[in-house]
Structure formats: structure tokens, C-alpha cells
Structure 1
Amino acid sequence: MNQIPKTSPLAITSLVTGLLGWTLLPLLGSLVAIVTGHMARSEIRRSRGVLDGDGLAMVGLVLGWLPVLIGVLGLVVIFMFLGGIAWLGTMG
């Protein structure tokens, strides 16, 4: 008799905290989404079909990593802008 796969609680946690990372808990939510998303995907692979929810974990990972990526790119742009202003200041 085939057993219906149970959804991984870590995958659900990753998805929920990934959403919270965009709303109420920007830094903490994103970090928890990233960690639990990786843990969930590993747990699902090891379960050999007993656990499901890889898609939820993947969405949680994307929702967790996007704010981190946007933040890093924002810092790069700010430093490039400030560096450009400093460089222009040395020209005169």
C-alpha cells in the first residue's frame, strides 16, 4: 500500500519565513528562510519519497535569497556612487 507523502514542516517554515522576510522581519525572516529551505531540501531528498514539499522549500529559498541579493547590489551601487563622487572631487 502506497503512503501519501507528508509535507515537510521545514519546507513550510521556509516558505512562511521567506514571506515574512519581505514584510515584517526583513533580515531575520530571510536568514531563517535560507537555512530552513536548505535543510528541508536535504531532508526531503533523504526521505526517499516519505516527505514532500521540495517546491515549497525552493520558493522559500528564492524569497530568502532575493532580499539578500538586492541588499548586496544596493551596497555595491552606493559604494560605486560615493566612490565616483570622491573621484570627481579629486579632479578639481
Structure 2
Amino acid sequence: MTDPNTPDPNAQNVPPPPPAQPSQPAPAYGSSPSYGSSPSYGAPASQKTNVLAIVSLVSAFFISLVAIITGHIALSQIKKTGEQGRGLAIAGLIIGYAGLVIGIIVAIVWFAIIGAAISSGNYTTY
């Protein structure tokens, strides 16, 4: 059995090969070797957001019918032009339809309460 810490007497004392040298020198800091000019680090060009999609989402909190109409028009325009804002239009539609349904339910309940009060005779006129 051999001790792993003792050197092998049969091994030759050969230095490791030198690291490979690159064929081209590294470019200087801040220069672009393949394009000739310094790279631009600005923000990428952002696409335009559809205005009706924004109007749909904002109006959904105030006037549900406007949100529904502008949301559908915005989705149609986004499909044709490829603009941003599809999520805004869908959110405006969902909130607009929910508001419309809640408004209809509140109106039905309100008229039912008024009708019940009138038919029972428990109202006063001034």
C-alpha cells in the first residue's frame, strides 16, 4: 500500500504548459470592436399604449357603459395595430361589466323596495 502524500518516484518533473494566448488583443474598455462606435445603452424604444385602453380602465370606476364600449374598441384597435394595452382594455372590460351587473342588481332591489313600500301603504307624502 502506498502513501498518497509521498511523491511518485516514476513521475517526471515536467512544468505545466503555459496558458494559451488569444489571437487578438482584448478591446479597450468602452470600445466596441465589431461595430466601430460605442454602444448605446439607452432604454429600448417602447411601443405606444392604446389610449382607449387607458380610458376604458379609468372610466370603469365611474361609468361602466363607457368602459365597456371603449374596451371593445381598444381591443379591436390593438389587434390591428399591435399597440400595447391589451391587459388594460381587458381589465376595463371586466370591471365595466361587473359594475354594470352590480348596478342592474342594485336598481332591481331598489325598485323592489319602493314597490313593496308603496303596496303596503307605509309611506308618507309631504
1:11 counterpart = 2:53:
yes
**Residue number in structure 2 paired with 1:55:** 87
* Structure 1: segments with no counterpart, 5+ residues: 22-28, 87-92
1:36 counterpart = 2:78:
no
Deviation at 1:18? 0.9
The answer to whether the 8 A contact 2:60-2:99 is kept is no
Bigger radius of gyration: 2
Bigger share in helix: 1
**Residue number in structure 1 paired with 2:79:** 45
Moved over 6 A (4+): 79-84
Deviation at 1:5? 2.4
> RCO (CA 8 Å, sep 6+): is it higher in 1 or 2?
1
RMSD of Structure 2 on Structure 1 (CA): 2.5
* 2-structure distance, mates of 1:16, 1:83: 35
Report the number of matched residues: 76
Matched residue SS, 1:6: coil
Q: Deviations over 1:17-72 (max 9, x none)?
A: 112x2xxxxxxx2111111000000100111xx30101000111112111211122
How high is the sequence identity, in percent, across the aligned residues?
42
| TM-score, structure 2 as length reference | 0.48
| TM-score, structure 1 as length reference | 0.63
2:100 to 51, 68, 73: 68
Bigger share in strand: 1
